[in-house]
Each structure stands twice: as C-alpha cells, then as structure tokens.
Chains A and B, each alone.
Chain A
Amino acid sequence: MRSTPRSNHVGPTRSYLVGRTSQARQGVMLLDVKDLKVQFEHDGETVKAVNGIDFAINKNEVLGLVGQSGSGKTVTALSVMNLLPRRDCVVCGEIVKNSGIAMIFQEPFTCLNPVLRVGEQIDEAVLVRRSGSGQSGNSVSTRSVRAETFALLEKVKLNAPQRIYDSYPHLLSGGQRQRAMIAMALALSPGLLIADEPTTALDVTTQAAILDLILSLKKELGMSVLFITHDFGIINKIADRVLVMKDGKIVERGLKGAVLSSPTADYTKKLLEAVPKLGSTGTGLGQTLYHPDERPVPVVTVRNLSKTFVLEKGVFKRKAGCIEAVRDVNFEIKEGRTLGIVGESGSGKTTLAKLLAGLLKADSGSVGICAREAQIVFQDPYSSLDPRMRMRDIILEGPAIRGTGKSEREKILQKVLFKVYLNLKDSMKYPHQFSGGQRQRISLARALAVKPRILILDEPVSSLDVIIQSEILNLLKDLQKELALTYVFISHDLAVVERMADDVAVMYKGEIVEFGSRSEIYRSPKHPYTKRLLAGAL
C-alpha cells in the first residue's frame, strides 16, 4: 500500500451527491480525473482494475466510455462516486469535482427498494438534496417534496405520475423503472450524470426511448453525461467524445466521429470490426444455402402451436389469469438453414424454444421434430453447466446417457473438442475455471456430442462481449457448413440475427407477426412492429 502525495479520498461526502467544492479551479470542467489508479487486493493478489487514467468532462457534453467487461469502466465510475469498498481496494490519483454528480445503474430491477413505493424513494432523493443545500433544519413540507417528485416524474415522461408514485417497483416495467431511477438522479439536480450501462438490460425499443430521454434532458437541463457502455451503437447515438478502455487503461480517445470512422488503436479497430451491424451482411439469399442442388426437406415443422401459462393466486390456487406465451405459431425450417427468431423479452421466444426442444408440452398444435435430433444451447453460460462436473463429463453426458462405450466416448470427446476449438488438456477442469466464451463452447460441444441435426440456440451470444460473440458466431457458421446443421437462432439482437439467419420470424406477444427471408424482413418490413424494432435498433 503506497500512497502518493496526490492521493485524495474526496472527503466525507454523500455517496450520491458529491460536494460542490473547488468551484473556482476550472470554469468549464465538471470533472477532472488525473492519474486515477484503483487496485484490489484479493487473497494476496493485487489486481489493477484501473491503471492510471486521465480524463475530464466539460459542461454540457456526453462522454462515452466504452470497453469490454473487465476493462475497468464501472470501477472508474464508482471511484468517481466514492462508492468503492474502502476495505480491500486502494484508490490513488486526483479527482476534482466541480458539480453535483448523480449516478444511474445498469440493473433497474435491483436498484429500487422493493418494499418502498417508487414515489417515496424519489421523495427521499429530493429530501437529501434539500437538506444538503442549506434548507435543512426547518421541516420541509411533505407536500412540496411530493410536488417536486411529481414534476420529476413528468420530466422523465412517465405518464400518470400519481399511479407511478403509488406503485411498488415490481409493478413497473424495466423501462419505467429506469425512468424512475433517472428521476431520482435528477432530484439531486446534478451537473453531471453518470450512467453505467443504463440500457443494457432493456429491449431495443425501450432502449431507444431511454437514450432519447437522456439526450433531451441533457439539452433541457444543460447537464453533462458520462455514459458507460460496451455498445458502439449507443455511443454512435449519444456521445460527443469517446474514451476506449482496455485493461484499466485508456487506449483511445477523441471525438465520436473520428474514433468510430478512423480508429487509430488496434484494439478499437478490433472492437469495431466485431460489432455486428445492421445491413452489413451480404446481399443475396442464395449464398447461404448449403445444398443448392437438392431440394431441401423441412426438418422442423410447427403447426398451430400454442402454449398458455395459468397464473395461480393465493392459498387455494385460484386461477387468476393466463398468459398466452405462444399463440398459434406455424413455420417450417428446411435442412441446413437457419431460422432467426427475433422479439423483445416476453414475446414468447424462449417458450417457443422450450416447446421445440420438448422441455414444455404444447397445449395444442404439433412440433414435428424427431426428439433426439434437436439439442439446445442456452443463453447464460454460467447456469447451463453443472458446476460440480468436469468439462469432459459435461460434454460426454449425452453419450453416457445413451450408453455409448468407453473408448467410443473418448473418440467423441476428442472430435467434439477439436470442432469447438477447446483444448483436450482442459478436460479435467471445472466450469468456473473457464471464461464465458469457453463455457459457451462447452455447451455447444455438449449438444454436438450426440450428433444432432437441429440446434436450438436461445440467445447464445447475448451475455458475451462483442469480440467473443463474433468468434462464437463464426464458429456456429462453420459448424453449420461442416455438419449440415439446422439452426433455430433466437435473439433480441437484430444485427446478430441478420448475420446468422436465412429466414426470420418476428415474434410479438406470442405470435409470429411477420415471417420471411432475411432480405424481405430487413429491407422491406411490412408489419408495424417489425418497422418499430428496426427503427429502434442502433
């Protein structure tokens, strides 16, 4: 633990409203960070999360901070807010703040206290500001606080503020909660808003709306924003200047246009190349057909498929309502092709995947898949592998269940590992010793070990960083070519689907509202919902 003379722990401030001291130093700079270093001590090891970065934020600008997970973006924000745990980390450097700073976080589901009404939580923030700015001592009238909260709710364009005020967080949608969070941040009337991946957990259309809101508030209130994200699409939309972080260092900085169009650092180039972009895939349809000569046979036929979940309420299991998760869905997929299914969360994509894989029983309709021929790969690489099994046992689970002999299994393991580019040497390791991308490869290997003809991929790359995402997508394409696999590719990310799919089905509230070839859907969408989705995508 060595501390530099400039080390500065930024005073005894409130955690979310940081002091308005040293106003005089630099007129326009709201935040000036010099040589910030953050180290975590963990089991005797030192991890340098942030390794000497400098940046400043001027008045009325949006600074985008991009980087992959683990690059130190969030740690930077937390050290500015003085929110890092003191006990096991060392912060060095100089942080000068010339304005109040407020922060909004990524997870709108965990940031609000579930047992308090949303309005009361915003009231709290209003009270914090009032007591901080000298009006303390005299009792602030509840009514005036409430009036201010209502004004804030209106400002973040939450209609029916009274209803929102009285709601508990679980009654609000993700977008509404994020708006409430923003209202709470605005209650502190900050000069600078730090937004840490505020839209990552949201659907595309909601995301677009939240970004618009942040931009308009910035204009209206003359705020600055430090916007942290891993998504270049968002940066393109919102930022004025960009910082690219890698391993705790800033590898590139500059105006948005310059960084995005002509990046100088290799890392930025690599990141930008890996980003799937709408409209970037080849033109024709024919080129992705792997059997142009044969007339492809449909290997998946879905007819009038429906699934309804009944909600039960109370002790007596009274039927309280039902959700039609999948309603009257029809499609077929021909061998060797990829059907992309897009839709927002709650549109029934995952239910459809489970129906296809035989994990759920349909209420009506039929799924024409030979049961053993379809395998499924899940979104979350952490929960899809048994933490107590070795990698080889995970991959060989399928063959073991089917009673394949020992020497045969060994061969399968080698073959499959080779296909997904995993090392045989690692086969005795446990899942937690692998990275997210590697785990997703293990999942894939497990599915391939039973030689399926159809793979159902449920958001297989959504939780991965762009570079790894791009690797996995390439791997999937190669495997499809090599093994003549048929894919059902489910994703909320339109760009990823465009890259993978031959045909696209758009799901909305349990129904397929539009079905067509990739070029039809992306070039000339017919259904208004599809149009809205495409407009919301960045």
Chain B
Amino acid sequence: MSLIVVALFAPRITPYDPTYINIQDALAAPSPEHPLGTDSLGRDLFARIIYASRIALLIGFVAVGLAAIIGVFFGSVAGYFGGKIDSIIMRFADVMLCFPAFFLILAVIAVVGPSIFNIMVVIGLTSWMGMARLIRAEILSLKTRDYISASRVLGASNFFIITKHLIPNGIGPVLISFIFGVAGAVLTEAGLSFIGLGVQPPDPSWGNILMEGKAVMGVGWWVILFPGLAILITVLAFNLLGEGLRDALNPKK
C-alpha cells in the first residue's frame, strides 16, 4: 500500500517530462526506453501515469479530507446538541444524499469549470453526509456515558467535551470511511477526467489518458491498459487498507 506513497514522493524516478511531446516516438510500444510505451503524441506513458498518481491521490486525500472536516463538524454538532439543530442538519444531509452524487458533481463542474481545485472542492462538498451520519451515531451513544457527565460537572464547555472526549472516541468509523472515501474520490476523478470535465490536458490524469487512449485503442493497447491497471490497483489498495483498518480498530480483536 505504501507503494502509492512512494509513487507520490518520487515522481523523479522517470527521466521524462510527462508533457514533453515527441511526435517521432508517437505510439511506441513498451520498450526499455519507454517501459510502458508512449501515447499518440509521443509522451512517455510511464511518466504520465506516475505524475497522474500524484494528482489522483492529491484529489483523493484533499477532497475526502474536506468531506471529513465538514462531516465531523456537522455530525458532532448534530449529535451533541440534538433537537432542532440535529433535525435541520440531518434533513439537509438527507436532501444532499438524494442527488445522485456523480451527476451533481457533473452539473456543478459544468457551471464552475473544470480544474483540480474545483474538483477537490466539489467532491468534498458532496460526500460529507455519510461521515456526518457515522459520527453523529457514535456521539449519540457516547454522550450519555458517565465520563461526559463527569466532565460537565468539572466545568467543561461543550467545545471541550466535543473535541476532547467525543470526537477522539467516535472517530474510528470515520477513519475507515475516510480510506474508502479516498478510493471513491480517485474513481470519481478518473470518471470526470475521462469525460473531459476533470483534469485538463496537458496535465496527466488516469482518466484523460484513458480518454486519449480510447481513440487509438486498435494500435496502441498499452495506452489504455496501464492507466486502467493503475486505477484498479489504487482503488483496490485503498479498499484493502480500509478493510485492514476496520479489523485493527475492531475492539473485539
């Protein structure tokens, strides 16, 4: 799993610039010089995929991180205060959940324009609801524990109780959901880029490499195989990581 992190921090492992165009080498098959071949504009595919992983992971972590911050904030406020505040926040979350997420993202991107920053923000703003629900449920059960009462008798403020007691104890499921969320965000980004509303060329993204490769599928199979594999491996890795984390955090183990 840490392979991904290595890829993230060592894009210098490839000698090529991912946007350097070399028409003479266009659509070269995998060779020692270009281990995964080149695309229709002669750009080194290995370099493009490695660089694209940076973007994919950046989007994944930042977008889901944003979602987690929003989700934990709304979820803990809703769970802790209950009553009207809870109803308003959770009904809002329900409304958000009603939209098919991908199309909502599409619509917003179509309006605000595609860029890496916009994609991160939009994914973040449309995927916090699950985490809000998780932390709210945790807090609902945690807030009746005696140590919360004890803390209140000691004079703790609501903010203190939420940040010092409730969130640390309730964050487990959110962490797991965070990891699964990253996998989801990577897929969403690839999808957006594939239909041209994600990362814009010449910046590499697994999605837009795939889209470009689609046109030359007949001649250059490598152009779509390798980015596809990259997506598969990344998503699988995050899902396995999440699975492992879930086992590790299971109190019964």
Contacts and interface: CB of A to CB of B under 8 A. Distances in A.
Interface of A: 354, 357-359, 371-372, 374-376, 378-380, 383-389, 394, 397-398, 401-402, 443, 446-447, 450
Contacts of A379: 146
Contacts of B149: 354, 357, 359, 376, 378
Interface stretch (B45-53, B153-161, B192-200, B226-234): B153-161
B147 interface: yes
Given A385-B147, A446-B154, A450-B155, 19 more contacts: A357-B153, A359-B152, A374-B153, A376-B149, A378-B146, A383-B145, A384-B145, A384-B147, A388-B169, A394-B147, A397-B156, A398-B154, A398-B155, A401-B154, A401-B156, A401-B160, A402-B155, A443-B150, A447-B150
A42 to B, nearest CB: 12
Nearest to A398: B154
Contact of A375 (B154, B156, B164, B168): B154
A372 B155 contact: yes
7 contacts: A371-B155, A375-B153, A384-B145, A386-B169, A397-B154, A401-B156, A450-B155
B151, B154, B157: most-surrounded residue (chain A CB, <10 A): B154
Given A372-B155, A376-B153, A446-B154, A384 B169 contact: no
A383 B150 contact: no
B246 interface: no
Contacts of A378: 146, 149-150
A354, A378, A397: most-surrounded residue (chain B CB, <10 A): A397
Interface in B134-153: 145-147, 149-153
B165 interface: yes
A97 B157 CA distance: 61
A358 B165 CA distance: 20
Nearest to A432: B251
Contacts of B150: 375-376, 378, 384, 443, 446-447
Interface in B160-202: 160, 164-165, 168-169
Contacts of A385: 147
Contacts of A375: 150, 153-154
Contacts of B155: 371-372, 398, 401-402, 450
B86 to A, nearest CB: 13
B153 A386 contact: no
B151, B153, B156, B157: most-surrounded residue (chain A CB, <10 A): B153
Contacts of A383: 145-147
Nearest to B169: A388
A372, A376, A443: most-surrounded residue (chain B CB, <10 A): A376
Nearest to A374: B153
B154 A386 contact: no
B83 to A, nearest CB: 11
A378 B152 CA distance: 13
Contacts of B154: 375, 397-398, 401, 446, 450
A386 B154 CA distance: 14
A398 B155 CA distance: 7
A14 B15 CA distance: 73
A233 B150 CA distance: 33
A376 B155 CA distance: 12
Contacts of B145: 383-384
Contacts of A372: 155
A377 to B, nearest CB: 8
Contacts of B160: 401
A68 B89 CA distance: 49
B139 to A, nearest CB: 14
B222 to A, nearest CB: 49
Nearest to A377: B150
A87 to B, nearest CB: 15
A417 B153 CA distance: 20
A198 to B, nearest CB: 27
B146 A397 contact: no
Contacts of A358: 153
A359 B150 CA distance: 9
A242 to B, nearest CB: 36
A386 B156 CA distance: 14
Nearest to A458: B146
Closest 6 CB pairs of A and B: A384-B146, A378-B146, A398-B154, A383-B145, A386-B147, A383-B146
A486 to B, nearest CB: 15
A460 to B, nearest CB: 11
Nearest to B168: A388
A394 B151 CA distance: 9
Contacts of B165: 386, 389
B248 to A, nearest CB: 15
A476 B238 CA distance: 53
B186 to A, nearest CB: 31
Nearest to B149: A359
B205 to A, nearest CB: 39
Contacts of B153: 357-359, 374-376
Nearest to A443: B150
A179 to B, nearest CB: 30
B160, B164, B165: most-surrounded residue (chain A CB, <10 A): B164
Contacts of A376: 149-150, 153
Contacts of B164: 397
B146, B156, B164: most-surrounded residue (chain A CB, <10 A): B146
Given A386-B165, A387-B169, A397-B156, A380 B146 contact: yes
B150, B152, B155, B160: most-surrounded residue (chain A CB, <10 A): B150
A387 B142 CA distance: 11
Contacts of B152: 359
Nearest to A394: B147
A374 B153 CA distance: 8
A357, A380, A401: most-surrounded residue (chain B CB, <10 A): A401
Contacts of A386: 147, 165, 168-169
B2 to A, nearest CB: 26
A491 B118 CA distance: 61
B77 to A, nearest CB: 20
A394 B154 CA distance: 11
Nearest to B144: A383
Contacts of A443: 150
Contacts of A380: 146
Nearest to A360: B149
